[in-house]
Amino acid sequence: MQDFKGRVKKIMAVVSGGILLAAAPLFASPKYAIDENTMDEGAIEIDRFISSDTCSGCHSQIFEQWENSMHHLAHKDPVYSRVSQFLRKGLTDKEEIKEAESCVKCHTPVGHITGFPKKVSDDLSKTPEIAAQGIQCDYCHSAYKIKQMYNNGLVLNPGQGEDDPGIKYGPFDDCEPDFHEAKYSGLHTESRICGTCHDVKHVAFGTDLETTYTEWKNSPYNSTDPQKRVECQGCHMYQRPGIPATGSTPRPENPGSATDYSDERPHIFTHYFVGANAAVPGKFDGQIKGEMAIERLQNAATLSVDTSRIKKKKLKVTVTNSGAGHSIPTGVGDLRQVWLEITILNKAGKTRFQTGVLDDKHLLPKDALIFQTVFGDGKGNPVINLAKARQVLSDNRIKAKQSVTQTIKLPTFPGKGSTVTVRLLYRSMPQKVLNLIPGKPFEPLPVVEMAKVQKKI
């Protein structure tokens, strides 16, 4: 800590483009007036937020973990941007339009709360750089309270920009940073801070579009026994390369320093925020975060196959959610694809049965055994456009720590000496949906093998 004043000066020089600022406001203890009823569009001036680049001056490791995470990319993510533009097109119903315009509230939260962009159809090329950083450091660390547990109900208390950075809320109750003030926030240690964005309701129809937080809340991980309780942070902020930190793998502490110069602590929460998306972060950061997503997926579920009734042309496959703190898949459960690929080869190696095999156009056959949510138009017809989702038609995703068994009827007994191979596969979006989006075709998304079993008959 001996040279912290020198460091602050260096940082301030960087952030103010070479102009050194007076040190006085840095150490003052200003009180900010908070009006929690004005947490809506344009409630806060953009100048009050600080770029994540500034935080990286001292928190360089945390910054590198967060950089190119799906939180950093939430606004720039080409899949999200093209899907949201596509869904907005051609709508005429007022309430459907309201939903299709609302995406920026979570994907560009600094922009939304500071007044631009207000909606998906704004000229997004004019998005200020700080807002284009998606869910960035100062956004999460200015949050101190929640007003509603869905559609981003965070209440914020940012400082006044770089020359008066204000309070950063976090898990430590004993820290004395130099640049900014710090305050212990119990909220940051709870699933609720994640859940307010990870539960999404249709803004007009109230349909549950994403329910990750509710799924966790109803799971055994939300236990009153501290030995069994695991918050979102307990899995997603313990992961680092080689340590997937799921419900079925160890979640060891990560000793280290929160900055480049402060004392070591027993655990520093990692900021990779890896989920299941291997395609998007992998593209931006040269694979590391993509590989971590694969590692997470490979420690999420187990498979077993029962061939005892195969002579009667029946096969039973059981999938167990052993590692996720919510359903598999979770999040955008209508888009994520988790399915069973089954192949039976006879003794001579000839295919006797197949299901769930992608065709050469990367399309999944209609009869594939898939775990997903299907939305409806209110009259029982499935819809692809979230904006039209008036009901949940079906949801057969696998809940935390639960098993689902599928019985498959075979056309014939494949014969003695045949081999049954079952794979559980993941893809973050159907090719069918990608094909609908006008413009440059998307590269096919990676298919990740979550689990595999093989059995000889």
Smallest distance, Å, CB 375 to ligand HEC? 12
Closest CB to ligand HEC among 191 and 418? 191
Closest CB to ligand HEC among 280 and 369? 280
**Which residues inside 326-355 make contact with ligand HEC, applying CB under 6 A?**
326, 328-332, 336
CA 359 to chain centroid: 28
Q: Where are the alpha helices (DSSP H) in 102-243?
A: 104-107, 109-114, 129-132, 137-142, 192-195, 212-217, 232-236
Closest CB to ligand HEC among 88 and 352? 88
**Which position among 63, 116, 144, 238 is part of the footprint of ligand HEC (CB under 6 A)?**
63
Part in contact with ligand HEC (CB under 6 A); list of ranges 16-24, 36-44, 193-201, 350-358: 193-201
Q: What is the DSSP letter of 383?
A: E
**Which residues inside 149-178 make contact with ligand HEC, applying CB under 6 A?**
151-152, 165, 168, 170-172, 175, 177-178
By CB atoms closer than 10 A (0-12, 13-18, 19+), residue 22 is exposed
| Residues recorded for the chain | 457
Alpha-carbon span 193 to 140, nearest angstrom: 8
**Which residues inside 376-415 make contact with ligand HEC, applying CB under 6 A?**
386
**Which residues inside 410-439 make contact with ligand HEC, applying CB under 6 A?**
428-429
Position 77 contacts ligand HEC (CB under 6 A): yes
**Which position among 68, 212, 298, 320 is part of the footprint of ligand HEC (CB under 6 A)?**
212
Contacts with ligand HEC by CB under 6 A: the residue count is 104
Smallest distance, Å, CB 432 to ligand HEC? 14
* Tokens 């240690």 found at: 189
**Which position among 26, 44, 66, 295 is part of the footprint of ligand HEC (CB under 6 A)?**
66
Smallest distance, Å, CB 5 to ligand HEC? 10
Position 259 contacts ligand HEC (CB under 6 A): yes
Part in contact with ligand HEC (CB under 6 A); list of ranges 21-29, 302-310, 317-325, 408-416: 317-325
Number of other CB atoms surrounding residue 249 within 10 Å: 19
Angle at 382 between CA 300 and CA 411, to 5 degrees: 65
By CB atoms closer than 10 A (0-12, 13-18, 19+), residue 318 is middle
For ligand HEC, what does the binding mask look like between residues 220 and 249, x meaning CB under 6 A?
Answer: -x--------x-xxxxxx--------xx--
H-helix or E-strand containing 144?
Answer: strand 143-146
Closest CB to ligand HEC among 11 and 408? 11
Position 292 contacts ligand HEC (CB under 6 A): no
Alpha-carbon span 161 to 46, nearest angstrom: 9
Closest CB to ligand HEC among 54 and 320? 54
Smallest distance, Å, CB 126 to ligand HEC? 19
Q: How far is CA 30 from CA 8, 33, 148, 180, 345, in A?
A: 19, 10, 28, 11, 72
Are 178 and 135 within 8 A, CB to CB? no
Part in contact with ligand HEC (CB under 6 A); list of ranges 17-25, 79-87, 90-98, 340-348: 79-87
Interhelix angle 78-88/94-101, rounded to 10 degrees, is: 170
Are 339 and 397 within 8 A, CB to CB? no
Alpha-carbon span 1 to 6, nearest angstrom: 10
Smallest distance, Å, CB 106 to ligand HEC? 3
What's at 261, amino acid-wise?
Y
Cis peptide before 244 (omega within 30 of 0): no
Residue nearest ligand HEC (C-beta atom):
331
Closest CB to ligand HEC among 213 and 284? 213
Closest CB to ligand HEC among 38 and 354? 38
Smallest distance, Å, CB 309 to ligand HEC? 30
**Which position among 26, 46, 48, 102 is part of the footprint of ligand HEC (CB under 6 A)?**
102
Closest CB to ligand HEC among 247 and 356? 247
Number of other CB atoms surrounding residue 243 within 10 Å: 16
